[in-house]
Amino acid sequence: RQDQQQQEDSAISATESQLEAYVSKFVGDQLSQARQQLERYSESYLGTMTSALEVGQMGAEHRLAALDKVKAVLGRMDTLGAEVEALLATVERGVPRSREPCIAFDELEELEELAGTQEVAPAAAAAAAAACRGSA
């Protein structure tokens, strides 16, 4: 009986020691993907600005259309930047630290809600929530 208990304790300890590295890598990969997506939007913005400057040489109607396009891209960039920062902060708070509880149940529900509503990297919030739920 005692030998079986030691084996179970050993298995639990091994799982706990591997969980932090696994979750950290998984969440890190998701965050990296979110950053890459933000970089793609930034490159799109640069292209839009270049195009707008070229159109600026044309008449007032073309300049106004280009300005509207730039404003739309800038607004989207601001929104995406804020969403990524908020999601990164939320997900990073949910990454378990060595032998600490993963996250509070309320925070877990918040992560699951974010996974259903965020446009930027919803997989990161869902993965963190799933990983934490699995470690509880």
Each residue's pLDDT tens digit, 53-110: 877 677 777 778 888 988 998 888 888 888 888 888 887 777 666 555 555 555 556 6
Task: Calculate the alpha carbon distances from 133 to 31, 63, 126 in Å.
Answer: 19, 52, 10
**Which residue's entry shows tokens 């696994």?**
22
What does the pLDDT look like over 45-54, one tens digit per residue?
A: 888 888 878 7
Cα(132)–Cα(33) distance, integer angstroms = 20
> What range defines the domain where residue 25 resides?
2-33+74-135
In a domain, 42, yes or no: no
Q: Is the residue at 65 inside a domain?
A: no
**Residues 13-43 pLDDT 10s:** 888 778 878 888 888 888 888 889 888 888 8
Contact of 88 with 27, CB cutoff 8 Å: no
Q: Is residue 98 part of a domain?
A: yes
Residue 16 lies in a domain: yes
| Whether pTM exceeds 0.85 | no
Write down the pLDDT at residue 54: 78
Asked if residue 130 belongs to a domain, the reply is yes
Q: Which two tokens stand for residue 127?
A: 């993965």
Q: Is residue 50 part of a domain?
A: no
Q: Which of 37, 23, 43 is nearest to 83 (CA)?
A: 37
Total of domains in the chain: 1
Q: Report yes or no on 59 lying in a domain.
A: no
Q: Where are the alpha helices (DSSP H) in the chain?
A: 2-55, 60-94, 105-117, 122-135
Asked if residue 80 belongs to a domain, the reply is yes
Distances (CA, A) of 11 to 16, 23, 100, 126: 9, 18, 18, 26
| Other C-beta atoms lying within 10 Å of the C-beta of residue 128 | 31
